[in-house]
Amino acid sequence: MQKPIILIVEDEDHIARVVKSSLEDAGYEVYRAPGLAEGRIEAATRSPQLIILDLGLPDGDGTDLIRTVRSYSNAPVIILSARSGDEAKVEALDLGADDFIAKPFSMTELLARVRAHLRRATTISTTNPSTQFSFGDVTCDLAHGIVTKNASEVHLTKLEFRLLSVLIAGRGRVLTHRQLLADVWGAAYVEHPHYLRLYMARLRQKLEDNPAAPKYFMTETGIGYRLKA
């Protein structure tokens, strides 16, 4: 089997070196670009299955690369950045990045995220739009609009079901408040995060064992939500 190809766009040599060798030890084929211009070339020519991207690059901003890559590829993009503000994260995720890891980071955590995103990407490309999805004791039949917990049917309103479907489609990824509001309620509602809070609370109430300590419908503080896959 061919090794999955990963591209690291990172200007700091010691970080790039550690990440590259850890990923190679884990069985990936890894390329590194030290800046935006090389990153663009490598992304277009190596066809990476996943990209790890630093935002602060010497010749520009990493977010520009997300824009470029998204015009031709769905490869997961994990942002690695020293910028800790929520705004930077939200901007990157809104542009189509899949995940955000703040520096300093643990290599174990990065490897776990890489595995999760590659698994998700493979599932999506090898199965037809899957209509069955389950987590814990919850099963969702999206085509028929049927959700069960512990084998008994759970009634969801139309909007609750829509939110659940959007979370399932983006499972494993951080979805920003704006993305979720736009996808579920429409573009006119992106400034109304309280709708989202209310409906997330309802989904947790209906589908989590303990809604106060959710295991699947995770909050990414200041950013959005993630359905743990």
The alpha carbon of residue 163 and the mean position of all alpha carbons in its chain are separated, in whole angstroms, by: 16
Supply the minimum distance, in Å, between the C-beta of residue 11 and Ca ion: 5
Question: How is residue 6 written in tokens?
Answer: 């990963």
Q: In the range 122-141, which residues lie near Ca ion by CB under 5 A? A: none
Q: In the range 16-75, which residues lie near Ca ion by CB under 5 A? A: 54, 56
Give Cβ neighbours of residue 8 (< 8 Å, ≥ 6 apart): 16, 19, 20, 23, 30, 31, 32, 33, 51, 52
Supply the minimum distance, in Å, between the C-beta of residue 169 and Ca ion: 32
Number of residues forming the site for Ca ion (CB under 5 A): 3
| SS3 state of residue 49 | coil
Q: 204 with 214: CB under 8 angstroms?
A: yes
| SS3 state of residue 100 | strand
Q: State the Cα torsion 136-99-119-183 to the nearest 10°.
A: 70
Please say which residue, 39 or 48, places its beta carbon nearer to Ca ion.
39
Q: Pick the binder of Ca ion from 5, 11, 96, 193 (CB under 5 A).
A: 11
Supply the minimum distance, in Å, between the C-beta of residue 33 and Ca ion: 12
Please say which residue, 59 or 109, places its beta carbon nearer to Ca ion.
59
Supply the minimum distance, in Å, between the C-beta of residue 36 and Ca ion: 11
Q: Give the residue nearest to Ca ion (CB).
A: 56
Question: How is residue 174 written in tokens?
Answer: 């951080």
Supply the minimum distance, in Å, between the C-beta of residue 91 and Ca ion: 16
* Rama region for 77: left / alpha / beta (φ>0; ψ in -120 to 50; rest): beta
Supply the minimum distance, in Å, between the C-beta of residue 202 and Ca ion: 41
Of 57, 77, 81, nearest in space to 68 by CA: 77
Please say which residue, 53 or 147, places its beta carbon nearer to Ca ion.
53
Contact map string, positions 74 to 113, toward Ca ion, x by CB under 5 A: ----------------------------------------
Please say which residue, 56 or 193, places its beta carbon nearer to Ca ion.
56
DSSP assigned state of 2: P
Q: What distance in Å separates the CA atoms of residue 137 and residue 134, rounded to the nearest whole number?
A: 7
Question: How is residue 200 written in tokens?
Answer: 């997330």
Please say which residue, 11 or 61, places its beta carbon nearer to Ca ion.
11
Please say which residue, 39 or 214, places its beta carbon nearer to Ca ion.
39
**Interface residues toward Ca ion, by CB under 5 A:** 11, 54, 56
